[in-house]
A = this chain, B = another copy of it.
Amino acid sequence: MSFDVLQDKIKEKKNPTVAGLDARVEYVPPSILKKHIDRAGETLEAAAAAVQEFDCGLIDALADVVPAVKPQAAYFEMLGWRGMKALEEITAYAKSKDLFIIADVKRGDIGTTAAAYSEAWLGSIQVGSTSCPVFDADCVTLNGYMGSDAVKPFLEDCTKRDKCAFVLAKTSNPSSKELQDIVAGDRLVYTVMGDLIQRWGQGTEGRYGYQALGAVVGATHPSVLKELRRRLDRTFFLVPGYGAQGGTAADVRSAFDELGRGAIVNASRSIMCAWQKTGKDGSDYQDAARAAAEKMRDEIKRYVTIL
């Protein structure tokens, strides 16, 4: 239950990292984009097809290196319904390669609206007597500003369907301090949120001792990672901010428990855009992405041994 499926895949691949699928049109190698524009013009249709070909190519290249992929909904939403159709197909494709799917949606709404989001991303939609799955990811990211009302419907789907979710606690971006670092009694706002996350998840522990509700804690704040790891002992961490944003392997070490479990580190641009640094204009994007993902895995392995 809960994060067991993900932790099992991490152990199997000996790799506690997730590759972000965050492709803006500009990140797609020029030859792929050109092919689709030649066919369909400078349209959202062409852009969505190019992103889909690129993402599926990345999935092929990474499938035996990483345990999970994390599509970022914004980059599909920005292409309208054609982007969302691509996302449905990319998700299904990644699943066919036995990858764990973290849908990075950061949704946060209440009541029946939260239930609608949960049905979309983790559950399925009832039409008459037929149950229709939609994106059917394994895991989502959530924003808990509105409180437990925003989380409960997801937690119910997680429990029913052996899935899980991450809620933002302390994010990796510079302005996260504006609200998250505000002093609230003897805690900070992100600690309050962390405590809420662990409380909301109570009773959903899996085999590894982690609850179905995890927390997002950025790699750019190593001391916070350490503090929250100690404080939230049943909370699995998703750690963004590695690489491009400045987080290092040494920084993320403290996200893991003493058995090297309980966390997964994300990298997006450093893998996806690795082709931009090899001088081959994207013809080697798969090899470049794979090499970057292996490098990241090996860097983290120097600090973390997964038991």
Q: Please list the residues of chain A having a beta carbon within 8 angstroms of any beta carbon in chain B.
A: 22, 24-25, 33, 37, 41-44, 46-47, 72, 74-75, 77-82, 84-85, 87-88, 106-114, 116-117, 119-120, 125-130, 132, 134-135, 143-150, 168, 171, 173-180, 182-185, 189, 192-193, 196
Q: Check if B46 sits within 8 Å of A127, measured CB to CB.
A: yes
Q: Check if A180 sits within 8 Å of B145, measured CB to CB.
A: yes
CB distance from A171 to the nearest CB of B (A): 5
CB distance from A240 to the nearest CB of B (A): 9
CB distance from A78 to the nearest CB of B (A): 4
Q: Check if A192 sits within 8 Å of B173, measured CB to CB.
A: no
Contact of A177 among B42, B125, B132, B147 (CB under 8 A): B147
A33 to B126, CA, bound (A): 13
Q: Check if B179 sits within 8 Å of A196, measured CB to CB.
A: yes
Q: Check if B127 sits within 8 Å of A25, measured CB to CB.
A: yes
Q: Check if A110 sits within 8 Å of B78, measured CB to CB.
A: no
Q: Check if B132 sits within 8 Å of A43, measured CB to CB.
A: yes
Given contacts A79-B125, A147-B180, 5 further A-B contacts (CB under 8 A): A24-B112, A37-B127, A47-B132, A78-B125, A78-B134
Q: Check if A44 sits within 8 Å of B132, measured CB to CB.
A: yes
B-chain residues with CB within 8 Å of residue A24 when the two chains form the complex: 112, 116
